[in-house]
Amino acid sequence: MLSTKEVLEQIFANVSVKNKSQRDFLIKLFTLLPSIRGRFNFINIARYISIAESTIRRNFEKFFDWLSFNYCIIQLALSEPNAPVIAAVDASFISKSGKKTFGLGRFWSGCANRTLKGLEISVLALIEVGTGNAWTLDVTQTPTGLALSAGKKQSYSRIDFYLEQILDCLPYLKNVQYFVADGYYAKKKMFDALLPIHKHLITKLRPDANMRYLLDKKKHPDAHGNQKYDGKVDWPFLDLNRWIEVGNHPQFEQVLVYTQILYSVQFKRNLRVVVLINTKNGKYVLLASSDLLQPALEIIKFYALRFQIEFLFRDAKQFVGLNHCQARDQHKLDFHFNMSMAAVNLYHLEIQLNQQTDKSLNSFVRKAYNTKLVHLIFDKLNSNAELKAFLNLEHPEIQKIINLGQMRYKNTG
């Protein structure tokens, strides 16, 4: 089976590293992370590794090309070299206390369902359509003080920041045609920026979206020459005769699917709109794509795949300490956030390359910890160790195993 170090060597063969010391540090760090117990901060990492805490801090300040690193992992992980992929963009709240931390502000927390004081990262992920596997491509911390509304032309809003992240990653997105995002990203700026570069946005619309039917000149030959629209869409009393029936949802029989090309007053463009109606309770969901020729079922499928990015956030927070950064400096925070999300990529790649049936990252980190402990026992207790050495808990070699991960105190005497 391939080890984490062997997988990293495959990646570093295609990714340039600043120097050998940084390469060695990253190999030690990624090999160590899944076997750590406790918080993933400088102090605790130093307890498990033969590197001083100050050295760890200095390495977190150094630049590393995480974008190329993640892209290389994705290329190794794809089932085929040119497998179809879509891009998903979303933000995640990071809890953080203190007053002088870079980017500290009030951001939306999905778990708390309200805005909280902390940090936020914006993640651009690639999702393979065939397998549904999601991989982080880029991680950027959201600055504080940005305008929440994208309405004013003079203000630099969060949408502008998220959009810049996408545009900065374009060299790695040549084969990506569709971007999927939730309703927050349904902004005119997003559509206006993506369409000129031949990219399309799939998103969710408000249930009261201001949409108009397009005028059919064949049905209304007497209409005024400049007339383009045939009335506003009344969502609570939807006239289904004006829609194209697609059929039942592939997974939920009680959900009926209809589609139509409508004009959006808010976005000032035509959109392919898909309405999903639950026949049991009468509730409906509106999805939209800027690709007017895209099939309705494909829009539904791609938007459902968007949720895979949430599993990346979950794994990074539960297993590799995305929330545990001890630093306040911008560069150290950036290194930590990228390290955590890249670690999820790396370990899932290792699971895939080793063809393990259990793809859970929970099982992976448990096995990594147990393996480290077994190696440590065999390393510290040689073949000549006497039986009483195993029974004597005060034996120096036994104490080295017992004290694994404990606080290291400096000798002040």
| Residue 52 forms part of a structural domain | yes
Query: Quick check: pTM over 0.75?
Result: yes
Amino acid residing at 7: V
| Residue 392 forms part of a structural domain | yes
Same domain, 158 and 221: no
Same domain, 169 and 239: no
Cα(129)–Cα(352) distance, rounded to whole angstroms?
17
| End position of a domain, from candidates 256, 291, 326 | 291
| Residue 60 forms part of a structural domain | yes
Residue numbers of the domain that contains 163: 4-181+307-361
CA angle 164, 168, 169 (to 5 degrees): 120
For the chain, what is the domain count?
Answer: 3
pLDDT values of the chain reduced to their tens digit, one per residue, 413 residues: 889 999 999 999 999 888 899 999 999 999 999 999 899 999 999 998 889 999 999 999 999 999 999 999 999 999 898 899 999 999 999 998 878 899 999 999 988 899 999 999 999 999 999 999 999 999 999 999 887 765 555 578 899 999 999 999 999 999 999 999 999 999 999 999 999 999 999 999 999 999 999 887 666 666 666 777 788 999 999 999 999 999 999 999 999 999 999 999 999 999 999 999 999 998 999 999 999 999 999 999 999 999 999 999 999 999 999 999 989 999 999 999 999 999 999 999 999 999 888 888 988 898 888 888 877 776 766 655 554 455 555 667 656 665 655 555 555 54
Same domain, 239 and 321: no
| CA-based nearest residue to 299, from 249, 357, 240, 372 | 249
Same domain, 47 and 161: yes
If you write DSSP's letter for every residue of 232-256 in order, what string do you get?
E--STT--GGGSEEEEE-SS-TTEE
Same domain, 239 and 383: no
| Residue 188 forms part of a structural domain | no
Same domain, 285 and 314: no
Same domain, 283 and 317: no
Same domain, 16 and 121: yes
| Residue 169 forms part of a structural domain | yes
Same domain, 393 and 357: no
| End position of a domain, from candidates 235, 257, 291 | 291
| Residue 377 forms part of a structural domain | yes
| Residue 296 forms part of a structural domain | no
Same domain, 100 and 131: yes
| Residue 349 forms part of a structural domain | yes
Same domain, 15 and 163: yes
Same domain, 38 and 71: yes
The sign of the CA dihedral 210, 216, 220, 223 is positive
